[in-house]
Amino acid sequence: MGNTMEGGQNSIIESLQSILEREDILAKVVEFFPYPIQIFSLDGTARVINKAALEMIGIRSIESHVDKYNVFEDPVVREPGFMEKVKEVLKGKTVYITDFNAPYKDLIRYFNVIDRDIQTISADITCFPLFNADGEMEYFAAVFIFKKIYRGKDEIGLAKQYIETGVKAIVGYSKQP
């Protein structure tokens, strides 16, 4: 299943690469792309963000994010140790980050996103380089696939119970003596 997903993602990446030369078309693709997507300069500064990303993450406006947010300075990305993986994209590699869990309270604290009844956002993220006509990397993109948005304390408790049940079933583990 992983190969099928990566194959589908690779064809999306190739399509975006081919239209990079046509910035007007690229801007429309990003704007109407149904999944959250951001495009960054090589120093990690956000240059483009689409409506889906604004809505899903809770970013208040394009103006509050573009040219201000830098993924390489993001404590939410740095803390769980994903930064090294994200930086692999600067070597021209496509990077697949799975099970990235962002505590929403940290997003509120660091980035002034909209305060909603969200505890954690769980996502898979694909980062890939964007090359110009001369084959030089100019930007990189990040496409987010939101797997689960945990809301409220009840849902977090149910998620923990689900995980513990799964672990017990796999390894015969129990937290209780």
pLDDT score of 43: 98
Chain centre to alpha carbon of residue 131: 20
Count of Cβ atoms closer than 10 Å to residue 89 Cβ: 24
pLDDT score of 69: 96
Residue among 113, 110, 84, 97 nearest 145 (CA): 97
pLDDT score of 97: 93
| Cα 140 to Cα 150: distance, rounded to the nearest angstrom | 28
| Cα 1 to Cα 84: distance, rounded to the nearest angstrom | 26
Two structure tokens written together for 34: 């149904």
So where are the chain's domains? 2-152
| CATH code matching the domain that covers 2-152, chosen among 3.30.450.20, 3.30.60.50, 3.40.50.1100, 3.40.190.10 | 3.30.450.20
pLDDT score of 4: 53
Q: What is the pLDDT along the chain (177 residues), one digit of tens a residue?
A: 455 556 556 666 666 666 556 677 777 878 888 899 999 999 999 999 999 999 999 999 999 999 999 999 999 998 777 899 999 999 999 999 999 999 999 999 888 899 888 989 999 999 999 988 888 999 999 999 999 888 876 656 667 666 766 666 676 655 555
The DSSP element (H or E) to which 138 belongs, if any, is strand 137-150
Chain centre to alpha carbon of residue 13: 15
| Cα 131 to Cα 93: distance, rounded to the nearest angstrom | 12
**Is beta strand 46-49 parallel, antiparallel or unpaired with respect to 37-41?**
antiparallel
Contacting residues for 50 by C-beta, under 8 A, at least 6 apart: 30, 31, 32, 33, 36, 37, 38
Chain centre to alpha carbon of residue 170: 29
Q: Is the distance from CB of 52 to CB of 34 less than 8 angstroms? A: yes
